[in-house]
């Protein structure tokens, strides 16, 4: 063989072996012969975020990935740690996501309370203690959603829950009758309590105005009193209407009890064996006393008693009836208190002044006004009205006239009973003489008494055979604007005016809107000025009394809105 050819073949063989050895160097380790993989993985640890698939690259490959950033509730993706390599190394690579928490907001809706700024914190950051809001008149009861310990995902809005606070109104009556405190919720309506009473004083009011609704704080009121100082004689009246407060308070008003009572005047009444009753007629209030025995009076004697009444006494009257007479029609069925057996006694300063009895059982049921005139009691005195043992007596409308000067000269009252009057309705003013006194009269009738509408309601011993019929602005087609009478010549002095009056009619034919107005002539203006209005007229005759206390005076009695019977007009 050619030598050169042999050398060429050897060279090719040698070159081939070198190339083989070089290739083997990339797959095996010379020392330990461990295989090295040709590819490695790129792994992504998202630390709780959304998953990213693992990628595989060969050693030395250029890494080109369009990675979608992972997401994680409450966080913002910042990047990878370490950063993504650009060339795949000869080993596996794990990349870990780095995150930054989002900021969220807690908003506080205080619903009209004090402001609380919104709280902004990173997600899951510990929430600090929040001061409670305040709101006038309310107590903070918490939030409608419980605040978490750490900032929640997407934040939170909470709203305050409020409860109305309660406050107290106290009344300092300055020695007067006690008034219990009132506890009310904020903005609750306030209703004024009954006025307190204090012997010898008139309640003027409270030192501050009572608000309509409860304010957001406790309040205290103090009573303001005016001492009763009367320069001239006056008529005082106790009608027991203030007893309604006892009934409204829920106290048992039907039992006979002993208790003290101050009503329409300053007088402190001691009620012995007394209960609240319905009054002389249905409606209103009165006192019924029972003769059941007590430690103050004779055995079996019930009474109403006042230890101190000031300013003397000229006259006194009161309405009375037997609620348990055989003819009683209300409030219970008839009873056994026969008029002939019942005695009413009036004591002044412990001395018996007068004893009264009803004429018969009819009068006892209907009721009667008892009067004592021409008294000359001066200074302070005691008064007791008592009913005899075993019987019950309803009392109402105690009226008395003071006697400040003492030794008041007695004068005969002028009494107009219409017995001698024979007047038809006059539609214009006419002077009529009754009892030797001239009166200007209009629409006052005394000619004929209507059997059903008048005579049936008249007591011959009290009203005789004639009463006056005043027809003022009635439904009668001939009726004029008002009916009235007044004395033409002035009286020297009139202390009080009294009369009996009732609504004219029978059965269902009554005009309950009728009123009686009492006027006096004002010499300075030459006009009649209103003194009193009586609007509680009933179907039966009732005794009415008005204080005049004027000298050189003309007195006008007027009827409006219907027809009214009037009798026994007395100018004292």
* Per-residue model confidence as pLDDT tens digits over 237-261: 888 888 777 777 766 567 788 888 8
User: Which helix (DSSP H) or strand (DSSP E) does residue 248 occupy?
Assistant: helix 244-248
- Phi, psi (deg, nearest 5) at residue 281: -120, 170
b/e sequence 461-472, b meaning 16+ C-beta within 10 Å:
ebbeebbbbbbb
Given a contact cutoff of 8 angstroms between Cβ atoms, the answer to whether 254 and 275 are in contact is yes
Which pLDDT does position 70 carry in this prediction?
95
Residue 53: pLDDT band (50, 70, 90) is very high
Segment 88-92 shows an average pLDDT of 93
Higher per-residue pLDDT: 421 or 557: 557
For residue 532, pLDDT beyond 60: yes
Residue 127 covered by a domain? yes
Which pLDDT does position 110 carry in this prediction?
96
Residue closest to 511 by CA, chosen among 448, 557, 468, 469: 469
Given a contact cutoff of 8 angstroms between Cβ atoms, the answer to whether 342 and 391 are in contact is yes
Residue closest to 565 by CA, chosen among 445, 425, 440, 459: 445
d(CA 539, CA 560): 16
Segment 417-439 shows an average pLDDT of 90
Segment 188-204 shows an average pLDDT of 83
| Number of neighbouring beta carbons within 10 Å of residue 443 | 29
**Which of 25-39, 73-87, 284-298, 470-484 is modeled with the greatest confidence?**
73-87
Which stretches of 67-217 are assigned E, i.e. beta strand? 75-81, 93-101, 103-109, 119-122, 138-143, 156-164, 166-172, 182-185, 201-206
For residue 30, pLDDT beyond 50: no
Which pLDDT does position 27 carry in this prediction?
42
Residue 50 covered by a domain? yes
Which pLDDT does position 34 carry in this prediction?
56
Residue 31 covered by a domain? no
Tell me: do 188 and 144 sit in the same domain: no
d(CA 68, CA 56): 17
Task: Show the domain range for 172.
Answer: 166-227
d(CA 348, CA 450): 43
Residue 366: pLDDT band (50, 70, 90) is confident
Structural domain ending residue among the three candidates 101, 124, 153 = 101
Tell me: do 45 and 188 sit in the same domain: no
Structural domain ending residue among the three candidates 197, 227, 257 = 227
Residue 213 covered by a domain? yes
For residue 230, pLDDT beyond 70: no
d(CA 41, CA 383): 120
Q: Which long-range contacts (CB under 8 A, 24 or more apart) does 210-216 make?
A: 213/187, 213/188, 213/189, 214/167, 214/169, 214/184, 214/185, 214/186, 214/187, 214/188, 214/190, 215/137, 215/167, 215/186, 216/136, 216/137, 216/165, 216/167, 216/186
d(CA 73, CA 51): 13
Contacts of 420 (CB under 8 A, 6+ apart): 434, 435
Q: What is the DSSP letter of 52?
A: -
Tell me: do 96 and 109 sit in the same domain: no
Which pLDDT does position 97 carry in this prediction?
95
Tell me: do 184 and 216 sit in the same domain: yes
Question: Which residue shows structure tokens 């929640």?
Answer: 152
Indicate the range of 144-158, 194-208, 221-235 predicted with least confidence.
221-235
Tell me: do 432 and 558 sit in the same domain: yes
For residue 522, pLDDT beyond 60: yes
d(CA 351, CA 380): 14
Tell me: do 255 and 308 sit in the same domain: yes
Residue closest to 286 by CA, chosen among 241, 230, 321, 248: 241
Residue 137 covered by a domain? yes
Q: What percent of the chain has pLDDT over 90?
A: 48
Question: Cα 528 vs. chain centroid, distance in angstroms?
Answer: 40
Residue 295: pLDDT band (50, 70, 90) is low
Tell me: do 454 and 553 sit in the same domain: yes
Tell me: do 214 and 335 sit in the same domain: no
Residue 406 covered by a domain? no
* Per-residue model confidence as pLDDT tens digits over 434-469: 988 999 999 999 998 988 889 989 988 889 999 999
Tell me: do 434 and 557 sit in the same domain: yes
Residue 23: pLDDT band (50, 70, 90) is very low
If 0-12 CB within 10 Å is exposed, 13-18 middle and 19+ buried, where does residue 86 land? exposed
Segment 28-49 shows an average pLDDT of 74
d(CA 335, CA 341): 13
Which pLDDT does position 14 carry in this prediction?
59
Tell me: do 329 and 441 sit in the same domain: no
Residue 10: pLDDT band (50, 70, 90) is low
In CATH, what number is assigned to the domain containing residue 479?
Answer: 2.60.120.430
In CATH, what number is assigned to the domain containing residue 137?
Answer: 2.60.40.4270
Given a contact cutoff of 8 angstroms between Cβ atoms, the answer to whether 484 and 441 are in contact is yes
Q: What percent of the chain has pLDDT over 70?
A: 86
Which pLDDT does position 570 carry in this prediction?
94
pTM: 0.37
Beta strand 286-290 with 75-81: parallel, antiparallel or unpaired? unpaired
Structural domain ending residue among the three candidates 174, 197, 227 = 227
For residue 36, pLDDT beyond 50: yes
CA distances from 429 to 346, 433, 509, 554 (A): 44, 13, 28, 16
For residue 499, pLDDT beyond 90: yes
d(CA 521, CA 525): 8
Tell me: do 418 and 564 sit in the same domain: yes
For residue 232, pLDDT beyond 80: no
**CA dihedral (213, 215, 220, 226) positive or negative:** negative
Residue 409 covered by a domain? no
Which tokens sit at 280? Answer: 């002389």
Residue 34 covered by a domain? no
* Cα angle, residue 33 at apex, residues 31 and 39 outer, rounded to 5°: 120
d(CA 216, CA 166): 8
The number of distinct structural domains making up the chain is 6
* Per-residue model confidence as pLDDT tens digits over 311-332: 889 899 999 999 888 888 765 5
Tell me: do 201 and 300 sit in the same domain: no
**Chain-wide mean pLDDT for the chain?**
85
d(CA 120, CA 143): 18
In CATH, what number is assigned to the domain containing residue 325?
Answer: 2.60.120.260
What secondary structure does DSSP assign to 186-200, as a single string? TT-B--PPPPP--TT
For residue 398, pLDDT beyond 90: yes
d(CA 225, CA 552): 34
Number of residues assigned to the chain: 572
* Per-residue model confidence as pLDDT tens digits over 147-194: 999 999 999 999 999 999 999 999 999 988 899 999 999 999 998 898
Residue 24: pLDDT band (50, 70, 90) is very low
């Amino acid at each position: 063989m050619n030598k050169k050819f042999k050398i060429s073949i050897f060279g090719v063989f040698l070159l081939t072996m070198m190339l083989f050895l070089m290739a083997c160097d990339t797959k095996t380790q010379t020392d330990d012969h461990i295989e090295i993989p040709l590819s490695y993985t790129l792994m992504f640890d998202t630390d709780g975020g959304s998953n990213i698939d693992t990628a595989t690259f060969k050693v030395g490959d250029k890494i080109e990935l369009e990675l979608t950033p992972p997401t994680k509730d409450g966080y913002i993706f910042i990047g990878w740690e370490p950063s993504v390599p650009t060339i795949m190394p000869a080993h596996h690579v794990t990349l870990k996501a780095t995150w930054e928490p989002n900021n969220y907001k807690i908003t506080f809706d205080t619903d009209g309370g004090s402001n609380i700024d919104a709280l902004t914190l990173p997600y899951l950051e510990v929430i600090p203690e929040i001061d409670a809001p305040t709101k006038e008149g309310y107590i903070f009861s918490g939030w409608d959603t419980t605040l978490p310990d750490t900032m929640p995902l997407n934040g939170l809005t909470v709203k305050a829950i409020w409860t109305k606070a309660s406050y107290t109104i106290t009344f300092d009556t300055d020695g007067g009758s006690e008034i219990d405190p009132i506890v009310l919720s904020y903005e609750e309506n306030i209703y004024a309590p009954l006025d307190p009473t204090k012997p010898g004083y008139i309640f003027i009011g409270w030192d501050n105005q009572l608000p309509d609704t409860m304010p957001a704080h406790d309040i205290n009121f103090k009573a303001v009193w005016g001492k009763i100082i009367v320069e001239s004689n006056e008529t005082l009246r106790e009608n027991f209407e203030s007893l309604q407060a006892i009934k409204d308070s829920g106290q048992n008003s039907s039992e006979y009890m002993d208790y003290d009572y101050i009503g329409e005047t300053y007088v402190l009444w001691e009620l012995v064996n007394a209960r609240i009753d319905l009054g002389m007629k249905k409606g209103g209030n009165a006192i019924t006393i029972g003769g059941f025995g007590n430690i103050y009076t004779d055995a079996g004697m019930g009474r109403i008693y006042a230890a101190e009444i000031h300013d003397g006494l000229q006259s006194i009257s009161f309405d009375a009836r037997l609620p348990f007479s055989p003819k009683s029609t209300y409030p219970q069925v008839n009873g056994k208190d026969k008029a002939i057996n019942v005695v009413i006694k009036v004591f002044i300063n412990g001395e018996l002044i007068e004893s009264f009895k009803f004429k018969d059982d009819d009068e006892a049921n209907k009721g009667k006004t008892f009067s004592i005139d021409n008294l000359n009691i001066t200074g302070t005195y005691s008064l007791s009205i008592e009913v005899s043992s075993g019987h019950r007596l309803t009392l109402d409308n105690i009226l008395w006239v003071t006697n400040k000067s003492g030794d008041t000269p007695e004068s005969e009252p002028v009494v107009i009973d219409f017995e001698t009057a024979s007047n038809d309705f006059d539609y214009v003013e006419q002077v009529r003489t009754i009892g030797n006194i001239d009166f200007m009269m209009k629409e006052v009738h005394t000619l004929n008494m209507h059997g059903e509408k008048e005579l049936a309601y008249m007591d011959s011993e009290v009203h005789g055979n004639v009463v006056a019929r005043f027809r003022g602005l009635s439904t009668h087609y001939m009726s004029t604007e008002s009916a009235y009478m007044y004395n033409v010549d002035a009286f020297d002095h009139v202390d009080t005016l009294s009369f009996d009056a009732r609504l004219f009619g029978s059965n269902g034919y009554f005009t309950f809107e009728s009123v009686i107005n009492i006027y006096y002539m004002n010499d300075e203006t030459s006009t009649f000025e209103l003194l009193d209005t009586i609007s509680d007229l009933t179907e039966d005759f009732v005794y009415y009394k008005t204080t005049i206390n004027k000298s050189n005076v003309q007195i006008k009695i007027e009827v409006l809105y219907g027809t009214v019977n009037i009798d026994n007009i007395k100018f004292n």
